[in-house]
Amino acid sequence: MLRTFLPVTLLVAMLLCQTTQAAEKATVKIKVLILDGQNNHNWRSTTPVMKKTLESAGLFTVDVSTSPGGRDLSKWSPQFSKYGVIVSNYNGAPWSEKTQKAFVDYTKGGGGVVIIHAANNSFGSWKEYNEIIGLGGWGGRSEKSGPYVYFKDGKIVRDTSKGRGGSHGAQRPFQVIVRNSDHPVTKGMPAVWLHAKDELYDRLRGPAENMTVLATAYSEPKAGGRGEHEPMIFTVSYGKGRVFHTPMGHADYSMKCAGFQATLCRGAEWAATGKVTQEIPKDFPTANKVSTRK
């Protein structure tokens, strides 16, 4: 009697313990920190859209760290290491040396980073930041910053010709073309989807090392673009860190695109964990139909 009783008790205890662990695992959310406070774009209206989007996905908890205005950021020191992923919606004054070092150490050590639109305008002369983001625009960028990168004749071109970094045509809806559907972020996405009205960055340039282009968009000359297939969804690996970068997201109305929102959530999960567990939502845009959310 005793001989059978003990192992059964042990077995039940073990099962209960495993079930508890599984339940805990399922409820542990990825901690996201959005950075804003300075941007030539309306961060006051875009950060809340991203926060709500990430929270609605059910996988994330989201904090926001808002820098003070002005040039003196010595008292602002976001605690990167507490988070699984940092989303930058920041384009402004240089961070303090301490914050810069903390950001590089965080990323190199395996932290996740998400770069949105004008965050790639920041810090044109900060070497490590440019290595982390892969490509950027404005901020004094030129051929010294690295090549232009675009997709032509079925492959990625690194074009070292001289010229400014960063320009754009008129805002409009535009098609995003998936170039790599094996990556967790783009897996299952329609091959072509119509993004809501946004500003299509072209002529971005940078070190572009350890970079994987997942999707592009054509910068039509008739809309003021330079006429190449521009990287629109891409990743960079930096040390042990994973970086997800999208030049999309000019304004709140651009971010209300169901395609942008799904891409943001997938990119953030991938940057934090290397995996994507989310389904492609039913309201994802098609090749010829924009899909926006409230």
Q: What is the contact surface with Zn ion in residues (CB under 5 A)? A: 199, 250
Q: Which is nearer to Zn ion, 57 or 248 (CB)?
A: 248
Q: Which is nearer to Zn ion, 50 or 189 (CB)?
A: 50
Tokens of 22: 């599984």
Tokens of 28: 């542990």
The phi, psi pair for 234, rounded to 5°, reads -150, 165
Q: Which is nearer to Zn ion, 179 or 250 (CB)?
A: 250
CA atoms within 13 A on the CB side of 250: 15
Residue position matching structure tokens 């993004």: 195
Residue nearest to Zn ion (CB): 250
Cβ within 8 Å of residue 64, ≥6 positions away: 33, 34, 35, 36, 47, 51
- Determine how β-strand 201-202 pairs with β-strand 85-88: unpaired
Q: What's the min distance (Å) between Cβ of 179 and Zn ion?
A: 23
Q: What's the min distance (Å) between Cβ of 248 and Zn ion?
A: 10
Name the burial class of residue 132, with classes exposed (0-12), middle (13-18) and buried (19+) by CB atoms within 10 angstroms of its CB: buried
Q: What's the min distance (Å) between Cβ of 20 and Zn ion?
A: 47
Q: Which is nearer to Zn ion, 199 or 230 (CB)?
A: 199
Q: What's the min distance (Å) between Cβ of 39 and Zn ion?
A: 9
Q: What's the min distance (Å) between Cβ of 145 and Zn ion?
A: 19
Q: Which is nearer to Zn ion, 167 or 180 (CB)?
A: 167
Q: Which is nearer to Zn ion, 51 or 250 (CB)?
A: 250
Q: Answer yes or no: are the C-beta atoms of 185 and 270 closer than 8 Å.
A: yes
Q: Which is nearer to Zn ion, 199 or 228 (CB)?
A: 199
Q: What's the min distance (Å) between Cβ of 32 and Zn ion?
A: 22
> What is the spatial distance between Cα 179 and Cα 215, in angstroms, rounded to a whole number?
5
**Residue 69 CB coordination number (10 Å):** 11
Q: What's the min distance (Å) between Cβ of 191 and Zn ion?
A: 26
* CA nearest neighbour of 47 among 292, 258, 252, 276: 252
